[in-house]
Structure 1
Amino acid sequence: MRTNIVQSDSDSWDSAALAQVPDSVIVAATKKSNDMGGDPGTTANMIAEQYPNIKKGNSTNSDTDSTDVGDKPYLNADEAKQQLSSLDYYRKNRSEIEITSTTKSTDDWKFNFTKGNMTGTIYVENTGLISATSSDGKELGSGIWR
């Protein structure tokens, strides 16, 4: 999809910056765009909402350019956990899900969970994306929490 985006309008999209966008962001935006009947340009614009540096000529510094209300570059554990309800899968299964561990990485929080006999992981990314996968690799859902 990265190649399709750049090829759709090479004057608008920065391939080097796009290569730095996590795969989960690309997949979530592609799915959302496809569901709406979108094309690579629509997908790119969705990604650019969270990663504006993919637009050529649009340099940003995340340490100094966060001007939107509530646009914090990094969440703490409690803030990340509050965002779990943004995910349909979590909201619908909340009473059956037990969070077993929480891990912070550079760009996200990882919540390992169990639901009955199933285990999985929910990622709350600082970019505003949230996704869940089962331990066998099945995508359980994704969304945007910002």
Structure 2
Amino acid sequence: MEDVPKSYDPSDSTLKFVNRKDEITGDDTPDVLRVEMSCGHAVDPNSLTGWCRSLMDQGHFIFYCPAVNEGTEEKCDKQWSYVEVRRHALLTDEEQQYFEKKIATLAAVQYLPWMWKLRRKKQSNKPVCFLSNLYEREWKILSILLAMYERVEGMRTTL
């Protein structure tokens, strides 16, 4: 994956441009366009891409804001959706494929062992106790994760 510097189209009216420093890197170069994320902090597409890649490299598949809230020493930690990250990071097709594959893999590693165990209990007609109330919702999440993984990997998984 090439690290070609990215920049926003100033005529894109769907983005909220701000004249503030980048809250990920601290860069405040005046000629760099930045957008406001849902948490209210400013980023540029390059720092956002780099930050989210670093999170995935550390095994995280949930993206969150690393900025320190103004006037405090507390981190924002507001979660960003993948859709928001993809849009504001201006991910290329190649980056989208990488991100989606990595997210699916990391999520599968975390959730699949528990879900398979839950499924085995459900199929054996044994009581699933407190998990039975969660079963349908969690099974839907698993189905979404598997579909995403299958699309990225080009394989078919049977449940």
How would you bin the TM-score normalised by the shorter chain? under 0.3
Specify which structure has the higher proportion of strand.
1
Question: If the length of structure 1 is used for normalisation, what is the TM-score?
Answer: 0.27
Specify which structure has the higher proportion of helix.
2
Larger radius of gyration: 2
Question: If the length of structure 2 is used for normalisation, what is the TM-score?
Answer: 0.26
